[in-house]
Structure 1
Amino acid sequence: MKNNLKIGTMLVLAISTLAFTTITDKKVDVVNSTVVWNGYKVTGEHEGTISLKEGSLTFNGDKLTGGNFVVDMTTLTVTDLQGGMKGKLEGHLKSDDFFGVEKHPEAALNITKVEGSNGNYKVTGALTIKGITNQITFDMNVKGNTATTALKIDRSKFDVRFGSPSFFNDLQDKAIYDEFDLNVTLKF
């Protein structure tokens, strides 16, 4: 009888906990969110922005549990150059030498695993660029209605080969490093 009472009590607690758990998808405000990229080469670096097309973060109560994002690759811009040099680099980055934006106008991230609590998370996701998907892991901080992350992407894993020392020998000072940075601030 006591065992039945204990089991019954535990079952009621488990059901009531599930009933009060709130899983919500919070839509990302793509206008007020920012994605800044930095690419590096032997002789310097370039910086720019790219816009989100859509996105959402999934929460269980106040704990991050998932999310999905689509990046509009056609919005890739260079912010450290002006005039003809700016246009030339933007065109080259959008070409098949780099991101092949005409054939691949979107990139996507699907969060598949989240570990952590209290706004500090280690996030694993499936990142798709140029139709190629690879797993990435990065740290994300969530506070209030803002999530931030700084992550490194290895472009060679997505067949972005131009100037890559992973694919070409003897590039010397024309080498463009494989990793580029994304600094992301999401508002939701």
Structure 2
Amino acid sequence: MKTTIKSILILAVGVAAASFTSKPVERVTVKKSTINWEGEKVTGSHNGTINLKEGYFEMDGDAITGGEFVIDMTSIAVTDLEGDSKGQLEGHLKSDDFFGTSSHATAKLVITKAVKQGSTYKVTGDLTIKDITKPISFDLNKAGNTLSTELTVDRTKYNVRYGSGSFFDNLGDKTIYDDFKLDIKLYI
């Protein structure tokens, strides 16, 4: 009798635990995935890379329903400059004038909804930069095990205002545009 009650309790605990487990996830291959950025100013532009720290998609069968991605902001690199100029710009982007990576080492994207339309998903989510979270929407394209998107982010919504003509007057050719672009490729 004790063995039967013990078995029933173990089974009940197992069923209860299974009912509270999260959705199946598909982990992103971090080392293969890429995030390229481009920022523009009146006199030109700069570009570079940022590393993905970790990420996954929540799945329902083969359909994406959500996900979470952590970006290593300390990895900001400039790819269009060399030498001292490269180091100076990377240092400035990591400073409190821009992303303040000593206090805000990561950024995060949480997908809250993904609606499949052919090979494209209409995605909505929350983007957090410098501990400020704002909603974002974008198209996510899927081709086999590769997912890609291009995002345009208004940096001023995340308190990144250095050189912004929206906040400072008389910047002239020193004006840096508010939007920056991200070209993202994720591999699962």
TM-score bracket relative to the smaller structure: 0.7 to 0.9
- State, as a whole percentage, how many aligned pairs show the same letter: 55
Residue matched to 1:60: 60
So what's the TM-score if we normalise by structure 1? 0.86
Gaps of 5+ in 1: 1-22
> Does the residue aligned with 1:64 lie in a helix, a strand or coil?
strand
Render the CA deviation track for 1:129-174: whole Å, top value 9, x for unaligned.
Answer: 0000000101101121110000100000000010011111111111
Render the CA deviation track for 1:67-98: whole Å, top value 9, x for unaligned.
Answer: 10000001000000000000000000000000
Contact 1:94 1:101 in 2 (8 A): yes
Aligned-partner Cα distance in 2 for 1:118–1:42: 38
Aligned-partner Cα distance in 1 for 2:141–2:65: 13
Counterparts of residues 16-165 of structure 1 (less than 5 Å): 24-165=24-165
For the aligned residues, what is the CA RMSD?
Answer: 0.9
Deviation of the 1:24 alpha carbon: 2.6
Gaps of 5+ in 2: 1-22
Deviation of the 1:116 alpha carbon: 2.5
Aligned-partner Cα distance in 2 for 1:66–1:104: 24
> Does the residue aligned with 1:53 lie in a helix, a strand or coil?
strand
> Does the residue aligned with 1:88 lie in a helix, a strand or coil?
helix
- The one-letter amino acid of 2:140's match is M
Aligned-partner Cα distance in 2 for 1:154–1:29: 27
So what's the TM-score if we normalise by structure 2? 0.86
Alignment: residue pair count: 166
Deviation of the 1:99 alpha carbon: 0.1
Residue matched to 1:20: none
> Does the residue aligned with 1:90 lie in a helix, a strand or coil?
helix
Residue matched to 2:13: none
